[in-house]
Every structure is written in C-alpha cells, then in structure tokens.
Chains A and B, each alone.
Chain A
Amino acid sequence: MTDKIKLTDMSLPGRKPLAHVENKDLMPLPYPLESPEKDHGWTALTEKVMGAVECGLDDTCALNIPQPKTKEEEDELVKKFLAGLDKLFTKENNWTFLQPLVLSMEHCAKCQTCSDACHIYEASGGNELYRPTFRSEIVRRLYFKSVKHGGVLSAWQHGDIEINWPLVARLAELAYRCNLCRRCAQTCPIGADNGLVAHELRKLFSMELGISAKECHDNGSVLQLKVGSSTGMSSLVVKDNIEFIDEDMTEKTGIKVETPWDVEGADVLLIHNAGEIMAWPENPGAFAVILNAAGIKWTLSSELAGYDSINYGLWYDDAQFARVAIKHAQAAKKLGVKKIVLGECGHAHKALSVIADRVLTGDLNIPRESSMTLLRDIVMNGRLKLDPSRNDFPVTLHDPCNMVRLMGVVEPQREVIRKICPQFREMWPHGVDNYCCGGGSGFAIMSGNNFQDWRFHVSGRKKMEQVLNAFSDCMDPSIHKYICAPCSNCKGQFRDMLAYYDMWAKQSILYGGLVELIVNCMVDAKPGFIDWEWH
C-alpha cells in the first residue's frame, strides 16, 4: 500500500496515482480464497490510457475523462466545476437534495464513526482514500472556501484545500469509488451522509460538465430514452424475446405460459429490469408462470421505457432520473392500470417508489408496489401449490441496499424463502444492516479499463466474505448452493464476481432470483426449473 494519503495530496500536480492497493493489503477472505498470493493480480492501466485520460487517483479509472491539452482548458474546466458547485447549493438547481446536502456539509464532527461501516474502506485494508469522509471532507472544504467565500478564518476553522484541475479530475473519479449504499450514514451519530455527498458530486459533474460513467449515461439512461431500454431492445425486439421466453418456459415447466402485453385496465403493470430478459430470461419467465398461476390480471407495457424499469439517473443525474420516472408513470397511465409492480431490481424499486414519490404529481402519481410484497401475498396465502423439498439445498439471501436499507422492504422476501427453502441461512449482518454487493450505484455494469479488478478486489470483497461464511458448513463442490439476490444489478455483480473467483466450478455456488426458487418448487411445474448450470 502507498503511504497514508493526505487531503491536500488531491491537489498534487501531475497524474501520478495517489493510492495503490495490492492483494496483501486487502481484508483477508475466508476459505477457499484465503491466500492473497493465489488471488488474481491487478491488470495495470495501459500506457495508452494513462497518456490520454485522467487516472491520477488510484489503480483504476472509471470515467475516462480526456486530459485537457492546455492550461487554459484546465482552468476552464475548474471554472465550470466551481460554477456547478455553486449550483448544487441553490434551490433553483438543486431543490431535490439541497437541505440534506447542506446539513451534511455543515455538521460532520469528523469522528470517523462511519469508517468502520464502509465495506470499501474495510476491504481495501483501510486505505485512507476510500474512507467515507475523505471525499466528503474535500467537498466540505470546497464548500466553505468557494461557495461560502470563506477567508482565512474559515480556512482555519474548516481546513483549506488548493483548487486546481488535478483536484477536480481526482474528485470526479473518487465520486465513483462509493456504492451509494449509505451504510455509513446509518451509523453517523449526527446524521451526516457521505453517500449523499458522493451522489451530489456525481450530479455536479454530469449536469454541469457532462462528465459521467459511459455505462450509466450514454449506454444507460440515454439509450433508454432513445430506444426504450438500456439493453438497446426496442419494443418489437423485447416482444420477440418475451415470446421466445414464453415458449421456453412452457417447455421447461409443462405449464402453458403466455405473457400479456398492453392490457388496458389490468390490475398490475409489471416492469422488469430489461437486463433480465437478455441475461436471465428464466426470471421474467418465472414471473409469468407465477402471476398466471395465481390468477393475477397483469400486463407488460411496450411503451418507450415502459418495459425497462432501470433508472440510472438515480445514481448521477436528476434530469435523467426525472425523465425516466415520468416515462414509467406515463406507460402506466396510458394503460389505466391499478398499480405498477416492480420486478426484481433494487434500484428500480427505490427510484420509482421512493425517490420519484416527490417527482410524480397528479394523475402520474400511480401506486407503486414491490414484487416482493406481491409474491409474499401469493405464496403465503396458498395461491400456489408448493413443495419445499424441491428446494432442499443451502440458500442464502442477499439484501439489495436500495430495496432494504433505503426502502424498508425486508421481510416479504424472507417469509417466502423461509417457507420454501428448508436450508435457508442468513448472511451476517443482514436486513437493513446488510453490506452492498459491491456492484451498487452502477458498478455492476461498469467494466471499462480494469475497473472490474477494483470492483471484485475492493467493493465486492465484503460480500464475497459474507457469502463464503454463509456457506462455510457446506464448502463441498458436490453440494449445490444458491445465493438468492432479488435484484438484477446485484445478480450482475454476483455473476461476474463468482466467475472471477471460479466459485461455480470450484464450489458449486450459483446465484439467481426469488421467483426462480418459487417456480422450482411449484407442484404443477415439472421439477428442475433451476438447472444448476452457469449462466
């Protein structure tokens, strides 16, 4: 590990990375990943990348900000950044988060209670750069210096920071070293929120300087607003794919599966994360099997964005967020459905249920519900014939932060699992105290340069530890084990991380959603819905 970083190092001229982490520095993992020597090495950033984009922070690079060519260009960018910083503290530009942001700026006691709560800080072996307050403290000093026009007295009271392009470029990257899981905020005795600070920083960069992660913006919210889904699927393509899934499910379960489209006046408009349709078709397929069997009057929508619940604006841009939320509500309004039910996607849950609650007004304010709740109702009220012995293998449950800590949907999924999975075991800690999977806030879809190395070694490490601990009594490749992760992004992170550590081949650890477990034990369906194959 590099020497302990100081806050003022962020302004150091040049592009020499401030932090470097090696495997031996990281938080140790339990069996069978206990050996740092046997862990994957880190892919170094190429000379080409280092010569073209800003990567002066650490071992990776998430944003690919082109290096300014001249001092004038640098100064212009710094000017824009400071203008954006001012805007963050005006109600016209940021009524959405002004009050909590100011509170977090003005009241941190610098007690570092939050550090121990952060999986990134812990997994990095306590690297100063990844301490939750490191980023916030820089922003705080900028706030007092630039926004509040603090002079010498303010610098003495709050600390000083030199404002230059290296600082701004590093800060942009640092905004993408936080999962926005807000576990740190939960432990703060004052109620300050470092996750919020990272969120607001991302917003400033996106909404003022047009700097954001390509995967979240160009290939995410822009694509969704352009063609209807961040997967790139138009409504025609998505209908085709669902038809194919219906056929596949019919064959697999022996139950005729038909997905209804654009049914006016349906009770339920189900919106999936469209990534499921591409990557885990058995998930929307299982939903269709369950809802049909339970006699729910439901539909999918083929409206623009109406068939993809993702809303990546949640992580970096209020305008993009609001646009997509409104599209979702408009799709429901057009069909006149009674409620929107969100499929297995954590950030979509929070985006449309919680955050959009103060965006949608009038007839766009259509009730939104979690699929966990609907599924609990179906399973616990005996609307399906179930045989839990078909799920007699070790199962653990991952709590998506957005659904659990940030929305309070904790028990419904547990009630279902307890009923249908005889070998269910909790991770520790769990529920609202859970740890992020490491893919939160867009990381699960980000893999540019060597970002994956960072996301598996650092941000995902704590979750890996939790999984291995949860299955420590059955670490035998002959025993199939299942991580239930009712969230597409978390599943993406599990897929990539389990593959990185070869945990399917070596330890038979598979991951999947909740609905797959339900259909797997439906008496009316052919056995073996979960096929224990890696995908």
Chain B
Amino acid sequence: MSVLVYLALYAGAAVFVAASLVRAWMYARAPLHLRWELYPVPHEDPAKVKHGGSYFEDKDWWTHKRAYNLAGELGVMVPEMLFLKALHEFNRKLWYRSFPFHFGLYLLIGACGLLLLAALLGLFAPALMAGALGMAFHWLYTVVGVAGVALALVGAVGLLHRRLTDEDLKTYTTAGDIFNLLFFIVSFGVLCAGFLLRGPGAPGVLAMVQGLLTFNRTIEVPGLLAVGIVLCALLAAYIPLTHMSHFVGKYFTYHDVRWNDQVNLRGSKIEAKLVEYLTYKPTWSAPHVTADGKRTWADVATTNPWEGAKK
C-alpha cells in the first residue's frame, strides 16, 4: 500500500511540475506580440501610477530615462497573488468563496513545504528535531495544514454551490467545471476523513513523509488516508492540464500583456525580433492582404494595393 502511495505522490508531483513548465514554456516562446497594455501599469513612475498615467504623458518622453518601479509592481502583485485583490474589488460575492479556496491551497502548499523540511531535518539532524524545534514544527505544519484543507474545502463547496445556483454562471458551466470542483471536494474530503479517522497505531504524518523520502515500505498508511493522498496526487497532476493552471497563465497575462509597455528603440533586442517576424510568410486568403505564403509580412505591409488607383 505504502509503495502505491509513494509512487502516486512522486508521479503527481512530477506531472504537476512538468506540465506547468511545459505550459509556461509554450507561452514564453510565443513571439513578442504587438503592445496591448492596459493602464494603470504599476511599474510606472509612482506619481503616474496614482492616476494610471504612462510615460506618454511626458513631453519628448523618449529623451527621458525611465526607472522601473519594482516596488509599485510588487505592491500590486503580492496582494493580487495572496488575497485576489481584483476579485475583492470587482466581484466581492465570488471573493468570499474564491479567497478561502485559494488561500487554503497556499496554506496546504506551505504545510507540505514545512513537512518536507521537518522530515529532512529529522533524517539528517535527528538531535535537532528531538526537542522544542521538532515540537514547533509539528504544531506549525499541523495547524497550517488543517487550516489549509478546511479553508480549501469550504471554498470549493462554496464555489460549487455558486456554480450550481447562480443564473449568471449556468450558461457557461460545463460538466468539466462541476467535475473539477467535485474533484477538489472529494480529494480533500477523503484526505480529511482519512486523517481524522486514522487508527491509534497509525504512523504520524511526519513519519509518512520520511517514509516517502526514504521509500520506507514498512510504513503502513491507513487505507482511507491512502485513498485521500492518492486522490490529491491525481488532482495535482490534473490541474496543470486544465484552465485551472491560471497560476501559470496569470503571470503572462499580467507581465507580458497588461503591463508590457517596453519601448521598441532603434537597435534594440525588440527591434531585432520584429525584423525576424517581418520575414514570416502569412497565408491569409482575403485578396486585399496579398499574402500567398511566399510574400513576407514586410512585403505585405509595404504593399499598397490601391496606390495610384482612382477613387
């Protein structure tokens, strides 16, 4: 049983990481698109961020040195990532459900990190973990983990309830959307039940993680808990294959689209990329485009099919 659990966990984590990376790589290697920013852009000059202004507000802007306001960007990014600020501002009803769900997941990830750290310390420096530090770790990952599962579970139930009852959402809800939320609810539910109902002789969570790290087959993971863990591993593998991978997508929608106001200066890297793209050969069929698969974008853009034609 324990082998199965270990394998599921390793496989789930591997698929999660690999699929997320592949997705990120696919977005990152897309050509640099035309600018499509939306103001406010938070890494602008703080005096401009207040009203959503840009460097275009400066006379002869190209003669000014532009400073990157990293603090401004972090000031928007961090609350957005941690507290879903946009949702809080524009859709409070949903935020009450979505925030606990997401924050619960963050806590769960945090608890996993703490557990791993504690397990490694326990393996490599058992003396260190024997006393107060070990106890502190125990309380910390237990509290964070329990809070995480509870919040995520409550949030997921809330989200499912809204999806099933809100008229505005019904038209757009697919069977897959319901399944996704149920997947969370069932996985976390079984995990919780398995944890709470584990017998008195069951190994502790820390022992199980150490077993995972050392592939210790003598650890007996209780049945229900094992099912919960396997379900969570499957869930982890499933997430990056769906639109729920927006933790990857959002990085790009914000940094590469909404906030990408990088100027194309003569002789810059951006210009070099554009020169390359202008050699691409489009195949659009409408006659006015004059693309035939042989002509480049540069040819198309510098062709005026109506030059010299009379009105």
Residues in chain A within 8 A of chain B (CB atoms): 4, 6-7, 80, 83-84, 87, 91-93, 95-100, 102-104, 106-113, 115-117, 128, 133-134, 137, 156-159, 182, 185-193, 196, 206-210, 217, 222-223, 225-227, 232, 304, 317, 319-320, 322-323, 326-327, 339, 353-355, 357-363, 365, 367, 369-370, 372-374, 376-377, 404-412, 431-432
Contact = CB atoms under 8 A, between A and B. Distances in A.
B44 A326 contact: no
Interface in B12-55: 26-27, 30-41, 44, 48, 51-55
Contacts of A353: 56
Given A103-B257, A326-B302, A369 B288 contact: no
B54 A407 contact: yes
A355 B35 contact: yes
Given A91-B280, A98-B33, A111-B91, A323 B52 contact: no
A477 to B, nearest CB: 34
7 contacts: A134-B171, A191-B250, A207-B284, A359-B34, A361-B264, A409-B54, A410-B39
Contact of B56 (A208, A408, A432): A408
Nearest to A7: B171
Interface in B247-306: 249-250, 252-254, 256-258, 261, 263-266, 270-271, 274-275, 277-278, 280-291, 297, 300-306
A407 B56 contact: yes
A80 B284 CA distance: 10
Contacts of A116: 90-91
A225 B302 CA distance: 11
Contact of B33 (A92, A99, A108, A182): A99
Nearest to A160: B174
A207 B300 CA distance: 12
B139 interface: no
B31 A367 contact: no
Contact of A157 (B87, B174, B265): B174
Nearest to B242: A157
B303 A431 contact: no
B252 A99 contact: yes
A185 B266 CA distance: 31
A190 B172 contact: no
Interface residues of B, number: 94
Majority SS at the chain A contact face:
helix
A319 B289 contact: yes
Given A188-B86, A319-B289, A93 B284 contact: yes
Contacts, number: 284
Nearest to A6: B171
A191 B303 CA distance: 35
Nearest to A325: B301
Contacts of B58: 373
B54 A190 contact: no
Contact of A190 (B26, B30, B175, B249): B249
A455 B71 CA distance: 42
Given A95-B31, A189-B84, A409-B54, A112 B300 contact: no
Nearest to B174: A159
Contacts of A83: 285
A210 B286 contact: yes
A110 B37 contact: no
Nearest to A363: B266
A157 B52 contact: no
A206 B278 CA distance: 20
A410 B52 contact: yes
B66 interface: no
B306 A225 contact: yes
A95 B52 CA distance: 28
A92 B89 CA distance: 39
Interface string B155-185: 0000000000001110111111101000000
B65 interface: no
Nearest to A322: B301
Nearest to B87: A189
A369 B40 contact: no
A133 B170 CA distance: 13
A361 B31 contact: no
B34 A107 contact: no
Contact of B243 (A80, A92, A109, A128): A109
Given A156-B176, A358-B264, A377-B59, A107 B52 contact: no
Nearest to A353: B56
B27 A97 contact: no
Contacts of A6: 171
